[in-house]
Amino acid sequence: MGTPTDLSPAARQAAGVCTADALAARYRSVRERSIELASPVSAEDAMVQSMPDASPTKWHLAHTTWFFETFVLATLPGYRVVDEAWQVLFNSYYQSVGPQHSRPMRGVLSRPSLAQVLDYRARVDARIADAFARDELDVALRQRIELGLHHEQQHQELLLTDILHAFSCNPLRPAYRDDLPVSHTAAGAQDWRRFDEAIVDIGIDRWPEQPAFAFDLESPRHRALVGAFAIATRPVTCGEYRDFIRDGGYRTSTLWLSEGWAAVQANDWQRPAYWRDDERAFGLGGVRAIDDSAPVSQLSYYEADAFARWADARLPTEFEWERAAQGVEVDGNFVESGRLQPAGDARDGLRQMFGDVWEWTSSSFLPYPGFRPWDGALGEYNGKFMVGQQVLRGGSCASPRDHLRASYRNFFPPHARWQFSGLRLAKDLA
Amino acid sequence: MGTPTDLSPAARQAAGVCTADALAARYRSVRERSIELASPVSAEDAMVQSMPDASPTKWHLAHTTWFFETFVLATLPGYRVVDEAWQVLFNSYYQSVGPQHSRPMRGVLSRPSLAQVLDYRARVDARIADAFARDELDVALRQRIELGLHHEQQHQELLLTDILHAFSCNPLRPAYRDDLPVSHTAAGAQDWRRFDEAIVDIGIDRWPEQPAFAFDLESPRHRALVGAFAIATRPVTCGEYRDFIRDGGYRTSTLWLSEGWAAVQANDWQRPAYWRDDERAFGLGGVRAIDDSAPVSQLSYYEADAFARWADARLPTEFEWERAAQGVEVDGNFVESGRLQPAGDARDGLRQMFGDVWEWTSSSFLPYPGFRPWDGALGEYNGKFMVGQQVLRGGSCASPRDHLRASYRNFFPPHARWQFSGLRLAKDLA
Amino acid sequence: MGTPTDLSPAARQAAGVCTADALAARYRSVRERSIELASPVSAEDAMVQSMPDASPTKWHLAHTTWFFETFVLATLPGYRVVDEAWQVLFNSYYQSVGPQHSRPMRGVLSRPSLAQVLDYRARVDARIADAFARDELDVALRQRIELGLHHEQQHQELLLTDILHAFSCNPLRPAYRDDLPVSHTAAGAQDWRRFDEAIVDIGIDRWPEQPAFAFDLESPRHRALVGAFAIATRPVTCGEYRDFIRDGGYRTSTLWLSEGWAAVQANDWQRPAYWRDDERAFGLGGVRAIDDSAPVSQLSYYEADAFARWADARLPTEFEWERAAQGVEVDGNFVESGRLQPAGDARDGLRQMFGDVWEWTSSSFLPYPGFRPWDGALGEYNGKFMVGQQVLRGGSCASPRDHLRASYRNFFPPHARWQFSGLRLAKDLA
Amino acid sequence: MGTPTDLSPAARQAAGVCTADALAARYRSVRERSIELASPVSAEDAMVQSMPDASPTKWHLAHTTWFFETFVLATLPGYRVVDEAWQVLFNSYYQSVGPQHSRPMRGVLSRPSLAQVLDYRARVDARIADAFARDELDVALRQRIELGLHHEQQHQELLLTDILHAFSCNPLRPAYRDDLPVSHTAAGAQDWRRFDEAIVDIGIDRWPEQPAFAFDLESPRHRALVGAFAIATRPVTCGEYRDFIRDGGYRTSTLWLSEGWAAVQANDWQRPAYWRDDERAFGLGGVRAIDDSAPVSQLSYYEADAFARWADARLPTEFEWERAAQGVEVDGNFVESGRLQPAGDARDGLRQMFGDVWEWTSSSFLPYPGFRPWDGALGEYNGKFMVGQQVLRGGSCASPRDHLRASYRNFFPPHARWQFSGLRLAKDLA
């Protein structure tokens, strides 16, 4: 594994390569963000596991810490793990590392307490700070820290969507924060952005061989032939989605994939996950009026696909999406905006490619040609999930801005609807 | 409904009939006991629902309070419930009162917080105290308080067995209390107590028509012809149960009821619920050596029945058990002993009829001849569960002493094994 | 085991004790009845297993044959079983005999064919006839044949109720027979038959120690104290049950056992199993108008219990039922009537105690005091099912007349509703 | 829809375009093949539905007939369907046509009988023959007949794999045919066929706009950039797969996709679906010695993927597979060989691309760029299944030869393992 030392500081920063000091600062900043995001949540809230797919806040805080302990600190001479038993409790799915506590049983873990988990974080953070100070971290370990921070950012988003799901199951419908701003921005008109057939470079060169961080699943960069297509200039809004509902979208079998129709029937789906029948919806700010201008979210893949069919369009492939996103600045409504909900965007032109809602693509989550998982246990990070899932692109109002990029691939099973997941239409060009 | 006013204070006390002052004192004492039992449990522990059959500690604390609020305070002029939404959250199963929060989803209720629930308790307790002070409570309401206290005592036991189950699902195996005493008392020999055929009075006259509290399911008192039988002088011990295991009890289909054998196969049962394969078992005091002299507990009905068959005996009927218990003092190892686990009893003669472990009987939970549920919503207390369950008798190390009596009927489905449930053998006399 | 040789032929016949010749004749007759009952059913029909609780016609024909082969022929010197593999296929639940084919997978057994099974029957019957002719059968084996015939009669009824269920799942709703007569008999008024408190002899002395056949579960004969009660002179009719439906019975939670209400909700029960929403019902004669005068059937225990509560009455205990049935002639609408559906009975007085519909009792299926299962594998016949089931009494329009008696105990789980199961009301007498 | 009339007869035949006479002849031939394939199966065998994913033989025979009746005959003036109720029973999943009998309940359909279904076939065939004779069929209807024949060929293969599954669930393990030949051909060595990066034409122009039949999902023909790769010259053999097993393949979590490992654990998979632990396997010829030279089959996608990882290779994409198959003659071990099991092929070079086993590809089943389902109800044929499935290519020993082509896309969910499904390795070329 080559070390990228021959870059100027500016170039390094541009490429995402941190000096040790910058990395240490970034470590502190990302780790503090997690604490900040968890701060509106009580120790009791932090316990709730409302479904097997979601995890308690406390578990997110602990697991991300376990990640640094296991993949960084445990490799340092003389390091003793904080608690042997926690190696099992907070291992998510790394078979190579060892056994795991049963995922659907994360909600029984009243012990360790949130206070203990916060102490665990503090101890690991202190030891990492020490390691930076003593220059104990070689390039490989610094890279693992870099990875650990991106890993933590993923869990920051899940922390938000999981606590939102937990609260949605409580009839009291508690607000994660009751001081969230209300957006008044109208959505501009939807137009189409056209692209001719081209051979496009997709993905990104493998990190850390190149210095800008990316997950293994985004590599290798490779060429793909992408036919002519048009893509909508903005995501589908709540107002547009309501038209679909009013037009009988949820009662028209021919609009749906077979599995999707079965899900509609079995679960009596009639609207997005957190919409109610009174023109209001539940979100991190509690129950509020639905903002017709905001991108619709909390959709399953089945719903996104059915809407697109109803609209006489289709979902974009992930390659089409990436092509459209190439060169677009990573700007928009991210977690940093403090809105924590999608919002309208009145501008013209291709917009909201990043932030607001993850956009379901028609692409299944599959390896790129020549894909190699990272070596060792970290090879379990992404590769083993490459079946039965669909790719989403772009990031959401719950994603950290510096976590995203045009090549970023998110993935969820098609029935998942507790994320800030929406859609952008696409269509063929003859 | 007649008022029992013509008894001397001593007679009233003996009969369990309280003066208003005595009832108010008893109210405070029982309510405080719940707080005391919950005190080793953190707010996070108090959240855990480890299976649909068990409830979080916090829910027990709230539901018992809801009981007093709904059935006593809400009938007082001008009373406003503390929170309308909680009427749904903390209603267990009273269809007549209104809708209920889904039972398997009690673990998502991070809100209200434990602190709020404790405050709820304090507010309801203060209002009840006020009502006593102002003499607002007529006989009927005082009787409902009496009932509410027995109801709360039932939940005190469940609070303990449910938190024990919750902790048993946490790989850290936290102890509810790590200062529980270890028993060193050997079990005396088992002998048989013989009874001739007789017509026996079973059950108890209906409360509150007579003043000593009893649940509706214990009435009416009625005569039954009980054939000659012998009953073991003490419950089966852990040591005896180990012999059953070593003799292949869990591998011998012919010892089991058909449903029981199916449960053994499906769940791979090999020993009582909290026994481990290292001669230790998990309990409220954490993981400890199995005490061979203590009555075995955490058995399903299937296991109790199979053991009895292996021992060439049978379970007693609930009438046989009650006949044997009639006249026996309610004395033994109850929650007040502070042991919180069954213990050996070296005495001779019929013993441990009360306390230590609930004893499975061969009787299904059915109405007594002439059974009438209480009027109104309280009629849902017991009667609607009279199918698919087996009767247990005697009380356990987690039961309050003054909650028990010879006529007391507990009931659980035959697969339940998270209670302090064991067995006492019986046999026919030719 | 004593041999009942000291009875006159008449006494023997009265007691059900057969001479070898009479037994051989009865063997032929019962075995032929099975073939006759299966004759309207094609080889394809005879394959269907429409739910795990039901068995294909072919399997009934084979299993009853296996019973004679296993428990009679296989004990004869030199006997070779027809097919070793069938010992597994057609063993229902006798763990002592050996492994069993998975019950819910009986519908995959296209092989052996119906023709092979009929041939199997013929070969076993021939060998049994031979054994009679050569006087190879000692008393014990003749008793096993007697038992086998009663066993076969039980399966004759199941053959009918199982094929009815199978046909009910076929949208074509095929009739088992389309030539069944239509009853025009009005039901007489319901009255009450009163009984004072008494000590009653329940059950029957153990067979074969006494010569009249009875299943082990009917023994030992024992005394029971039965309080004063009244029992309805006839079963509840379809017309009366429709009143319950129209009065909102299926929408009134307080009428139901908790488990029953859960079943109503989960399965959307709105009427008896084979009733439709057009005043017609499906039966062995196909879809026909509901006969308001006929006893209602295809009820679960939950429905019978809810109806009784709605009617301000209750179900009888099995002891009450047996007391009322003692001395009543076993007469009525049995399989021999050829109706194959319950029918009205215009007579006065206590009637329809036998035939028409099995009557759910409030008694759980439990062992009688002193119950001993038969020795050996046949001890698995009944005893191991003594949990989680309710007793039904009286027999139905699908039962053979000579299979029934006042002491006969049938049993099914409370949710079962594919039998000819109805109810007769009872009430307390003050 | 253009009519392909401007081709010479030879060109038409080459292109698969039939004259009416040729189509009528092909109709007879395909329809007779179904009868022939069903002929070793008794009416009872033809009833069995051994799992929800599989259908009874009889249902296949009826459904394929329903297809012609619904999509061809029902459009002719004056046609009366043979039985209205069968329109529901034999509709598989066409929501646009009307309601469907519940899929998992196909096994209860003893009526209509196999004889009736054969008569149904005869009547529909006669009417179709008539229509040909009277020249009632316009081009559009002739195209639907063409489609119906390919549809029937798909069901011919399912008929075989479904009856094989049914028989595999019968402990008697009946052979579909006991006269199947045993192969003695050794497998030649595996080599690699290399391909450079290229832009490749994938798929086929949309039928019926062009005359050679293809399913809608194979269209449109479009260009794709396929990187350099190598593909194995033959499928993986049973002998090679046994090495994987012996090397602990089924016990090594890191070889598996996460979902695959969960399936291994949950179902205790230890070998391919019909392999036994005695070096023998069950097949259409009964239980036979495993032929080490034959391609391994009855693998799930998970197993194919894990084997490839173990072999330090990967599965090909469907584009890679198609590229390799382009220009390869459709020759091999098909249903016409009468073997009905995969067999070794001792030749050199790229071989067994068609026949023997369907080859799992790493491609999810997704629409091609510009995909349009057929119009109307037939648009439900394929498009609505485009989620959660993987593509298989090449055809099997149970496929009709003239049903296959290089562009043919089969698809199954990744856990499916009752097909003749195996794999061929691929790898990247640097």
Confirm whether C4 is domain-assigned.
no
Two tokens, residue B253: 């289909």
Query: pLDDT averaged over chain C?
Result: 95
Instruction: Tell whether the model's pLDDT for residue D203 goes beyond 70.
Output: yes
Helix (H, G, I), strand (E, B) or coil at A103: helix
pLDDT in tens, B289-313: 999 999 999 999 999 999 999 999 9
In B, minimum Cα distance to A100 occurs at B171
Sign of CA dihedral B287, B293, B294, B295: positive
pLDDT in tens, C127-149: 999 999 999 999 999 999 999 99
Q: How confident is the model at residue B86 (pLDDT cuts 50, 70, 90)?
A: very high
* Chain C / chain D CB contacts < 8 angstroms: 82
Confirm whether D18 is domain-assigned.
yes
Helix (H, G, I), strand (E, B) or coil at B426: strand
CB contact under 8 A, C170 and D110: yes
Are residue C34 and residue C154 in the same domain, yes or no? yes
* Any A CB within 8 A of B173 CB: no
Contacts of D137 (CB under 8 A, 6+ apart): D20, D72, D131, D145
Are residue D158 and residue D207 in the same domain, yes or no? no
B98: left (phi over 0), alpha (psi -120 to 50) or beta: left
Nearest partner of B211 among B403, B12, B25, judged by Cα: B12
Mean pLDDT, range C32-59, rounded to an integer? 98
Task: Count other Cβ atoms within 10 Å, centred on residue C61.
Answer: 26
Q: Which of B96, B258, B384 sits opposite C93 (nearest CB)?
A: B258
- Determine the Cα–Cα distance for residues C425 and C403; give it in Å rounded to an integer: 24
Q: Which of A253, A386, A414 sits opposite D388 (nearest CB)?
A: A414
* Any A CB within 8 A of D369 CB: yes
User: % helix / strand / coil in chain A, to the nearest 5?
Assistant: 40, 10, 50
* Any A CB within 8 A of D380 CB: yes
Sign of CA dihedral B345, B351, B357, B362: positive
Are residue D132 and residue D204 in the same domain, yes or no? no
Are residue B273 and residue B366 in the same domain, yes or no? yes
> What's the pLDDT at B1?
31
CB contact under 8 A, C225 and B227: no
- Determine the Cα–Cα distance for residues C401 and C359; give it in Å rounded to an integer: 16
CB contact under 8 A, D224 and A223: no
* Any C CB within 8 A of B248 CB: no
Confirm whether A176 is domain-assigned.
no
Are residue C161 and residue C205 in the same domain, yes or no? no
Q: Which of B199, B256, B367 sits opposite C225 (nearest CB)?
A: B199
In A, minimum Cα distance to D222 occurs at A227
CB contact under 8 A, C108 and D48: yes
In a mutational test of the A interface, the residue from B106, B108, B176 whose CB has the highest number of chain A CBs within 10 Å is B108
Neighbours of chain C (3+ CB pairs under 8 A): B, D
In C, minimum Cα distance to D170 occurs at C109
Mean pLDDT, range C196-220, rounded to an integer? 96
Say whether the C–D interface has 3 or more Cβ pairs within 8 Å: yes
> What's the pLDDT at A18?
65
Mean pLDDT, range C74-93, rounded to an integer? 96
Q: What is the 3-state secondary structure (H, E, C) of chain D?
A: CCCCCCCCHHHHHHCCCCCHHHHHHHHHHHHHHHHHHHCCCCCCHHHCCCCCCCCCHHHHHHHHHHHHHHHCHHHCCCCCCCCCCHHHHCCCCCCCCCCCCCHHHHHHCCCCCHHHHHHHHHHHHHHHHHHHHCCCCCHHHHHHHHHHHHHHHHHHHHHHHHHHHHHHCCCCCCCCCCCCCCCCCCCCCCCEEEECCEEEEECCCCCCCCCCCCCHHHCCCEEEEECCEEEECCCCEHHHHHHHHHCCHHHCHHHCCHHHHHHHHHHCCCCCCCECCCCEEEECCEEEECCCCCECCCCCHHHHHHHHHHCCCECCCHHHHHHHHCCCCCCCECHHHCCCCCCCCCCCCCCCCCECCEEEEEEECCCCCCCCCCCHHHHHCCHHHCCCCEEEECCCCCCCHHHCCCCCCEEECCCCCCCCEECCCEEECC
Are residue D154 and residue D197 in the same domain, yes or no? no
Instruction: Tell whether the model's pLDDT for residue C417 goes beyond 60.
Output: yes
Sign of CA dihedral C395, C401, C403, C404: positive
Quote the domain boundaries for residue D275. 192-428
C-alpha pair distances (Å), C248 with each of B61, B377, C253, C292 = 36, 19, 10, 18
We report the CATH number of the domain holding residue B157 as 1.20.120
Confirm whether D225 is domain-assigned.
yes
Nearest partner of B430 among A238, C370, A421, judged by Cα: C370
Are residue B257 and residue B161 in the same domain, yes or no? no
Which chain B residues are Cβ-neighbours of C386 within 8 angstroms? 257
pLDDT in tens, C296-312: 999 999 999 999 999 99
Q: Which of A95, A259, A428 sits opposite D370 (nearest CB)?
A: A428
Residue whose entry in the numeric block shows the structure tokens 């890679």: D320
Domains in chain A, number:
2
Rounded to 5 degrees, what are φ and ψ at C412? Answer: -150, 155
Query: pLDDT averaged over chain B?
Result: 95
Question: Buried (b) or exposed (e) across A165-177, using 16+ Cβ within 10 A?
Answer: bbbbbbbbbbbbe
Confirm whether A173 is domain-assigned.
no
**Rounded (5°) CA angle A13-A14-A15:** 90
CB D373 within 8 A of CB D216: yes
CB contact under 8 A, A110 and B47: yes
Chain centre distance of CA C343: 18
Scan residues 274-313 of D and list those with Cβ closer than 8 Å to C: none
> What's the pLDDT at C401?
97
Instruction: Tell whether the model's pLDDT for residue D5 goes beyond 50.
Output: no
Scan residues 194-223 of C and list those with Cβ closer than 8 Å to B: 199, 222-223
Are residue C247 and residue C146 in the same domain, yes or no? no
CB contact under 8 A, C45 and D111: yes
* Any C CB within 8 A of D174 CB: yes
**So what's the ipTM on this one?**
0.94
Are residue D63 and residue D99 in the same domain, yes or no? yes
Q: How confident is the model at residue D17 (pLDDT cuts 50, 70, 90)?
A: low
Nearest chain A CA: its distance from B95 CA (Å):
18
- Determine the Cα–Cα distance for residues A303 and A249; give it in Å rounded to an integer: 9
* Any D CB within 8 A of A253 CB: yes
Mean pLDDT, range D368-380, rounded to an integer? 94
Are residue D212 and residue D319 in the same domain, yes or no? yes
Confirm whether C176 is domain-assigned.
no
Two tokens, residue B282: 């998990």
Parts of chain A with a pLDDT under 50: 1-7, 9, 14
pLDDT in tens, B114-171: 999 999 999 999 999 999 999 999 999 999 999 999 999 999 999 999 999 999 999 9
Residue whose entry in the numeric block shows the structure tokens 């640094």: A68
Are residue D260 and residue D312 in the same domain, yes or no? yes
Question: Buried (b) or exposed (e) across D381-416, using 16+ Cβ within 10 A?
Answer: bbbbbbbbbbbbbbbbbbbbbbbbbbbbbbbbbbbb
> What's the pLDDT at A5?
42
Neighbours of chain A (3+ CB pairs under 8 A): B, D
CB contact under 8 A, D260 and A387: yes
Are residue A243 and residue A120 in the same domain, yes or no? no
> What's the pLDDT at C240?
98
Say whether the D–B interface has 3 or more Cβ pairs within 8 Å: no
Q: Which of B49, B85, B114 sits opposite A44 (nearest CB)?
A: B114
Nearest partner of A206 among A21, A367, A396, A390, judged by Cα: A367
Q: Which of A42, A85, A105 sits opposite B110 (nearest CB)?
A: A42
Confirm whether B178 is domain-assigned.
no
We report the CATH number of the domain holding residue C286 as 3.90.1580.10
Query: pLDDT averaged over chain D?
Result: 95
CB B424 within 8 A of CB B234: yes
Confirm whether C185 is domain-assigned.
no
Which chain B residues are Cβ-neighbours of C222 within 8 angstroms? 227
Which chain A residues are Cβ-neighbours of B110 within 8 angstroms? 42, 44-48, 166, 170, 174
Q: How confident is the model at residue D71 (pLDDT cuts 50, 70, 90)?
A: very high
pLDDT in tens, B252-274: 999 999 999 999 999 999 999 99
Q: Which of D133, D168, D203 is the last residue of a domain?
A: D168
B388: left (phi over 0), alpha (psi -120 to 50) or beta: left
Q: Which of A43, A110, A170 sits opposite B170 (nearest CB)?
A: A110
Q: What is the pTM of this model?
A: 0.95
Cβ contacts of D2-6, under 8 Å, gap ≥ 24: D2/D208, D2/D209, D3/D139, D4/D208, D4/D210, D4/D211
Say whether the A–B interface has 3 or more Cβ pairs within 8 Å: yes
Q: How confident is the model at residue D1 (pLDDT cuts 50, 70, 90)?
A: very low
